[in-house]
């Protein structure tokens, strides 16, 4: 493409980025960032739920960081990322302590309250690994459009909690790596059978951590295809003035 530059792994595109704080009902302050399109209101919102903090997951886990770096500019999507309780990243440390997915219900609620306060449109949960447990367990308590799950391990989510999504009217899109460490496509199909309307997307060659630019692009294309389908597939090159 003439007059354009390629989007590389570390590319950050133009957006309005704001450091934010979320306050939980049990009195904790969680640190985060809101990235929004620079020149127009967002068409939808991603509320990101990060991987397991005791295994290195945080708001800057690479797929979520790249979603915030690219999607406001490329797809007009607002991206809210935050550290769950006790989780630390370059943005800072959220108050409290990791609670194995129990008290984290209040963290999800704080994020959704923030979305409502800011009048952010059409919120979708974008959840990865441990974050998918939070989405499945607590997402239906909030006014979400639906949830996009990356590498769900289904370690903490009960069958009853999963089955509650059946008939909820809230779409579930589930990206399952072929070579996942915890839940591979065949087993995922069996487990998610209690939500027959869920859309399972097996991804050939992918692993739990979605390492590599090709895998990240696959994930982001799937996300945009759900949340803002008229913006998919995403370009791989942009004008130089779109680089932050």
- d(CA 225, CA 219) in angstroms, rounded, equals 10
In sequence order, the 6+-apart residues with CB closer than 8 A to the CB of 187 are none
Which residues lie closer than 8 Å to 237 by C-beta, 6 or more apart?
Answer: 1, 4, 5, 6, 7
| pLDDT attached to residue 128 | 98
Q: How far, in Å, CA of 97 to CA of 165, rounded?
A: 29
- Spatial contact of 98 and 84, defined as CB atoms under 8 Å apart: yes
164's tokens:
């509650």
CB atoms within 10 A of CB 37: 19
Rounded mean pLDDT, 196-207: 97
Is the sign of the CA dihedral 106, 94, 130, 19 positive or negative?
positive
pLDDT band at 2 (very low <50, low <70, confident <90, very high): low
185, pLDDT greater than 90? yes
Does the pLDDT value for residue 208 go beyond 60? Answer: yes
Average pLDDT (45-63) is 98
Domains in the chain, please, with CATH?
18-229 (3.40.50.1820)
Instruction: Answer whether residue 202 shows pLDDT above 90.
Output: yes
Tokens of 26: 């049990």
DSSP letters along 8-57, please?
Answer: -TT--B--EEEEEEEE-TTS-EEEEEEEE-SSS--SEEEEEE-S-GGGT-
Could you read off the pLDDT of 57-82 as tens digits, one per residue?
999 999 999 999 999 999 999 999 99
- Kindly state the percentage of the chain with pLDDT values over 70: 99
Average pLDDT (198-221) is 97
**pTM score, two decimals?**
0.97
- What is the pLDDT, as a whole number, of residue 151? 98
């Amino acid at each position: 493409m003439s007059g354009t530059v390629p989007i590389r792994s570390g590319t950050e595109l133009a957006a309005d980025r704001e450091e934010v704080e979320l306050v939980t009902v049990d009195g904790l302050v969680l640190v985060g960032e809101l990235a929004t399109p620079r020149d127009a209101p967002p068409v939808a919102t991603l509320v990101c739920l990060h991987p397991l903090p005791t295994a290195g997951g945080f708001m800057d886990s690479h797929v979520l960081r790249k979603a915030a770096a690219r999607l406001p500019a490329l797809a007009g999507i607002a991206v809210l990322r935050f550290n769950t309780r006790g989780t630390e990243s370059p943005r800072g440390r959220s108050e409290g302590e990791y609670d194995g997915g129990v008290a984290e219900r209040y963290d999800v609620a704080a994020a959704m309250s923030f979305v409502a306060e800011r009048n952010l449109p059409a919120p979708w949960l974008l959840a990865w690994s441990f974050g998918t447990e939070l989405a499945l367990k607590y997402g239906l308590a909030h006014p979400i459009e639906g949830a996009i799950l990356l590498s769900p391990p289904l370690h903490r989510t009960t069958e009853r909690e999963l089955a509650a999504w059946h008939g909820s009217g809230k779409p579930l899109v589930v990206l399952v790596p072929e070579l996942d460490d915890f839940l591979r496509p065949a087993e995922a199909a069996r487990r998610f059978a209690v939500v027959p309307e869920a859309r399972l997307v097996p991804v050939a060659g992918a692993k739990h951590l979605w390492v590599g630019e090709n895998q990240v692009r696959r994930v982001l294309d799937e996300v945009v295809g759900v949340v803002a389908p008229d913006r998919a597939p995403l370009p791989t090159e942009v004008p130089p003035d779109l680089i932050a």
